[in-house]
Amino acid sequence: MKVYMATDMEGASGICQELMTFADQARYEEGRRALTRDVNAAIRGARAAGADEIVVSDGHGACGGYNFIFEELEAGAKFLFGTPRGGAGTAAEGADVAFCIAYHGMAGAYPAVLDHTQSSRAIVEIRLNDRVVGELGLTGAVLGDLGVPVGLVTGDDTTCAEAREFFGENIVTAEVKQALSRTAAICLAPADARELIERSAREAVERVEDLEPFVVEPPVTLRVQYLRTEQAERWRSREDAEMVDGRTVEIECESAIHAFNVYAGYA
């Protein structure tokens, strides 16, 4: 049983400030510790349910994809750090189930903690085939192309509701905090949050037969709307890209993986 864990940071236990998620901010080390301990809980749960191969991707953008506290990581897993990574989905190939640990709601989701899609400073909206997606939807679509279902999502209650909307009611969710606004939440105590994540990870592995991959049918139209016109500048010279307006680009892609790689600059 192979488990692939995609991770972010904003949805980690106790986090509700950007001070904890940006590397140049005062509380970033607290955020790293919270994320690392959530990841460790998920590893323990997956192993307890019989997972014999676990690959964990450090997916938060700070520090070039190196946010976990390495010396504190749980034994029994392998960890993907750094960028560039050569394209989406490689580490997830062959997985039986995927987890999305410490994820957040898409841009505009209210009252999701630290809601955004890819960049809170640049992106207004991303669509795949005219469906608005956040990072959960993008991750799930890439995994779906590989035939890998998302079995567990951890984060706030708004994010967990988003996960059920995309991936169905069979998905296991661990609501480690109740969002009150973008920068406020009622958080579980650390020990309670990690116990919930560990228990939920175990359940997700045990229920893998009930899960279905999230598939975006090809061809896939990628549409990205930026906050400002200059942020869309890199697309204007691409012959395969259509500028819908000064800050919105649309491009036809072969698949969800291709769409993600086009957005990320790998294709």
Tens-digit pLDDT profile for residues 212-264: 999 999 999 999 999 999 999 999 999 999 999 999 999 999 999 999 999 99
H-helix segments, the chain: 28-48, 135-145, 157-167, 190-206, 256-264
Write down the residue that tokens 């998302």 correspond to: 150
CA atoms of 55 and 77, how far apart (whole Å): 6
Coil, helix or strand at residue 229? helix
Please count the CA atoms within 13 angstroms of the CA of 86 that sit on its side-chain side: 4
Percentage of the chain modeled with pLDDT above 90: 95
Percentage of the chain modeled with pLDDT above 70: 100
Coil, helix or strand at residue 71? helix
* Residue 76 zone, left/alpha/beta (φ > 0; ψ -120 to 50; rest): left
pLDDT digits (tens, 9 = 90+) for 91-105: 999 999 999 999 999
Closest CA to 133 of 105, 154, 111: 105
For range 128-153, the mean pLDDT: 98
Q: Please determine, for residue 87, whether its predicted confidence score (pLDDT) is greater than 90.
A: no
Omega prior to 219 cis, within 30 of 0:
yes
Q: How confident is the model at residue 128 (pLDDT cuts 50, 70, 90)?
A: very high
pLDDT digits (tens, 9 = 90+) for 198-207: 999 999 999 9
Write down the residue that tokens 């940006």 correspond to: 22
pLDDT in the model for residue 86: 82
202: tokens are 């175990």
Q: How confident is the model at residue 85 (pLDDT cuts 50, 70, 90)?
A: confident
pLDDT in the model for residue 71: 98
Closest CA to 38 of 171, 115, 181, 153: 153
pLDDT in the model for residue 231: 97
CA atoms of 75 and 243, how far apart (whole Å): 48
CA atoms of 152 and 172, how far apart (whole Å): 5
Q: Please determine, for residue 88, whether its predicted confidence score (pLDDT) is greater than 90.
A: no
What interhelical angle do 256-264 and 135-145 show, nearest 10? 130
CA atoms of 226 and 16, how far apart (whole Å): 24
pLDDT digits (tens, 9 = 90+) for 159-192: 999 999 999 999 999 999 999 999 999 999 999 9
Domain annotation for the chain: domains and CATH numbers: 2-116+135-210 (3.40.50.10780)
Q: How confident is the model at residue 89 (pLDDT cuts 50, 70, 90)?
A: confident
pLDDT in the model for residue 267: 86
Burial class (CB in 10 A: 0-12, 13-18, 19+), 217: exposed
- pLDDT, the chain, mean: 97
